[in-house]
Amino acid sequence: MLAAGGSALNAVAAAVTALEDDPLFNAGRGSVFTHAGTQEMDACIMDGADRRAGAVASVFGPRNPIQAARAVMEKSRHVLLVGEGALAFCREQGVAFCEPGYFHSDARWRELQRALEHAEREPPQYGTVGAVARDRRGNLAAATSTGGMTGKTPGRVGDTPIIGAGTYADNASCAISATGQGEFFIRHAAAFEIAARLRHAGQTLDRAARAVIAELAAAGGSGGVVAVDRTGALALPFSTAGMYRGFVRDGMAIHTAIYDEPYRSG
Ligand code: ASP
């Protein structure tokens, strides 16, 4: 889409939609379960050109929570809608819904059973999806979608739909999408802190993103971000053992990686 001159906003929405449709990822179909055995999804999209943003939290039903978030951004006066009100709005706007069984994944169900049995010993399971993009016109956008964390308390909302925590985009600085222990990303306003370091401290994206991930790790919170700045520089730092990630730029082959520290954009 970007190579054909499409917008950053459409590109991040399309990328996240595809990942939500894949049950291997913890977003949309294949979302993790709460400790009550339910699924509650959070999603957010932000347009760096004008800082329009839309998000939904604690929803179950829309086939693609990111499309629900986009409807909030484009068709409501609000930024964040939650629960039943969000669902009613989505139905009014013609957002596609799926039957409950569509979202179920046996692997996620077993993950919940293991987490309930060995609450302390199980490492946290992530799998949130996100995308950032810069288009030919220099517009930035970010989108993030998640089922949250396995065994979470029903009603818990993570960093994903919180602007400046798990998702942020501003053409003047950068676009960020985060994954990890959401509570830490919220308390540190992680995505906004990366952007603020660019604007106020003149740091490169790479330095700013690494510094914030390191700060969270020092506080006990693991995770990572995918980020692109106004010049097109990339940063994909993480403090977890691995992070599924990929990137591409004009005239370059697609790169994907899981474990090793990636690409340095300078
Ligand atoms: N950040 C997400 C949350 O806390 C979880 C994740 O990234 O896997 O809801």
Q: Which fold has domain 8-257?
A: Glutamine Phosphoribosylpyrophosphate, subunit 1, domain 1 (3.60.20)
Query: In this predicted model, what pLDDT tens digit does every residue of 158-180 receive, in sequence order?
Result: 999 999 999 999 999 999 999 99
How far does residue 55's CA lie from ligand 1's centre (Å)? Answer: 15
Q: What is the Å distance from ligand 1's center to 216 Cα?
A: 14
* pLDDT above 90 (res 260): no
What number is the average pLDDT over the span 115-126? Answer: 68
Long-range contacts of 67-75 (CB under 8 A, 24+ apart): 67/13, 67/17, 67/95, 67/96, 68/43, 68/95, 69/43, 69/44, 69/45, 69/143, 69/145, 69/161, 70/13, 70/45, 71/95, 73/45, 73/46, 73/47
Per residue in 22-80, pLDDT tens? 999 999 999 999 999 999 999 999 999 999 999 999 999 999 999 999 999 999 999 99
Ligand 1 pocket residue status of 33, Cβ below 6 Å: no
